[in-house]
Structure formats: C-alpha cells, structure tokens
Amino acid sequence: MSKLASLRELEASLTSQLEGVRMEIKSLESVDASPPNPSSSPAQPAEEEVKSGTDCTDDKDSKDDAGTENGEEDWEGDYEAKIAAHKAEGNKNFQSGDFQAAIKAYGSAITILKKKDLTLSKQYAPIYANQSAAHLATKKWVAASWNAQCAAKADPSFWKGHWRHGVSLMAMAPRIERSKNAVEAFERCLEVCPEEKKGEVGEALERARVRLQEGKDRTPMPPQCQQS
C-alpha cells in the first residue's frame, strides 16, 4: 500500500471513529477513541515525554488543564455539582466537535478534583478519560497519555484508561520504551474490557507487539552511546 493510500485510509478511519465517539458520549459516562495508524500519525517532538508513574495529584498543570488561574473559581460549596456541570459542558462541546472547549471544560473539573484531593477517586476516572479522548481528537498524544494514565490509576478496572494510554503511545513516533508501555497498557485493557471489545483491543495489542519486536527508534542513538 502506498503512503498516500495509507494516509487516506487513516483519515477515513479516524473520521468514522470520531463519529462513533460523538454517538457514544450521548449515552455513556465516557467517550471512546480508537487507535490511529502508528506508521502514519504525526508525532509531537516539541512536547515533553510522559513517563510511567505520572503524578496525577500534582497541581502544577491546573492552569493548563482548565485554562484558568488557580483561585478564580470557588472550590467550596457544592463542588460535586460543579464537577458534574463542567463534565456535562465538556461532553456537549465534544459532541459538537469543539474539542478545545471540551478540553478546557474537563480541565476545570480536574482542577476541582485536585483542589479537593479527589484525583484518584474511582468515580471521576471517566473525566480524565474524556479529556484524553479530546486530546486524541486534536492529536495531542502526550497530553492524551497523561490523562489516560490518571484514569487508569483512579480506576484500574476502567478499560478506557488503559485503552487510550496505549492508543496515544502508538500514535507517537516509534520508541522502544513507548512500544513496551503500549503493550503493557493493551494487555491490562484486554483483562478488563467488555467482551465485544476484546477483538479490537487484541488487534491493537498485536500491532504494539510487532512494533516492539521491530525495535524501532525514530532517532538512532549516537554511536558513542551504543553498546559495543
């Protein structure tokens, strides 16, 4: 298959998958996103690599997540209602295709979670997964990976956290460590995903294993750093 044909196939696949995401968000607690073709997806070299063990309780990203300075919103009172309102706003924006607004709305909810020390609360894992899906829709793979890891930490049984972590890693430029982490994410996903998703997850896992076996690194190590 030519590169052009591969890109067209990827574009058609992503368009179809995003439409599925919009339909799902109407009825479910969190949105879905399927993996782009890792051989065709552009990487984001300017973004910092997300390491395993992401600290989801770190408040340093509150402004970036929510688009507001800390302290501009009243964190006290009925914070659960505020979280729900921000999430609903994010879902509405995602459904309309305004992914940046969705990211901001989900981020506002996440900022409250951080303020109330609820970042690892199981019930709020879908908010991280939703923001991860919005980042995937805008091809912000690193941010999507960070959110997905937080969703998986908050609720290890929530398959979409593991799924989107693997998806985001496979969308980045090939790195051995990324491929290894993607394999692990899809393996965990396969353990907890619904039966009807096992085929799709299994295929993604196989692609990750193939890339890991190929040992691809987009940027070769300098000769002086290689083992003799």
Alpha carbon 115 to chain centroid, angstroms: 22
CB within 8 A of 23, min separation 6: which ones?
A: none
Q: Which DSSP string do the residues of the chain spell out, in sequence order?
A: --HHHHHHHHHHHHHHHHHHHHHHHTTSSS---PPPPTTTSPP-TTSPPPPSS--TT-GGGHHHHHSS-TTSS--SSSHHHHHHHHHHHHHHHHHHT-HHHHHHHHHHHHHHHHHTT-TT-GGGHHHHHHHHHHHHHTT-HHHHHHHHHHHHHH-TT-HHHHHHHHHHHHHSPP-HHHHHHHHHHHHHHHHHS-GGGHHHHHHHHHHHHHHHHHT--SSPPPGGGS--
End-to-end CA distance of the chain: 37
What is the H or E stretch that residue 210 is in?
helix 198-214
In a domain, 9, yes or no: no
Structural domains counted in the chain: 1
Computed over every residue of the chain, the mean pLDDT equals 77
Q: Which range scores top for mean pLDDT: 19-23, 51-55, 186-190?
A: 186-190
Q: What is the CATH number for 101?
A: 1.25.40.10
For residue 36, the model assigns a pLDDT of 44
The domain in which residue 186 lies consists of 56-218
In a domain, 190, yes or no: yes
Counting residues of the chain whose pLDDT is more than 90, the rounded percentage is 54
Using CB atoms within 10 A of its CB, is residue 22 exposed (0-12), middle (13-18) or buried (19+)?
middle
In a domain, 7, yes or no: no
Closest CA to 83 of 125, 127, 130: 127
Q: Tens of pLDDT along 212-223?
A: 999 877 655 555
CB within 8 A of 89, min separation 6: which ones?
A: 101, 105
In a domain, 42, yes or no: no
In a domain, 130, yes or no: yes
Closest CA to 158 of 204, 205, 112, 191: 191
In a domain, 156, yes or no: yes
**Least confident interval from 16-30, 90-104, 108-122, 171-185:** 16-30
- Whether the CB-CB separation of 46 and 141 falls below 8 Å is answered with no
What is the average per-residue pLDDT within 191-199?
97
For residue 62, the model assigns a pLDDT of 38
Neighbours of 43 (CB within 10 A): 17
In a domain, 93, yes or no: yes
Q: Which is more confidently placed, 9 or 144? A: 144
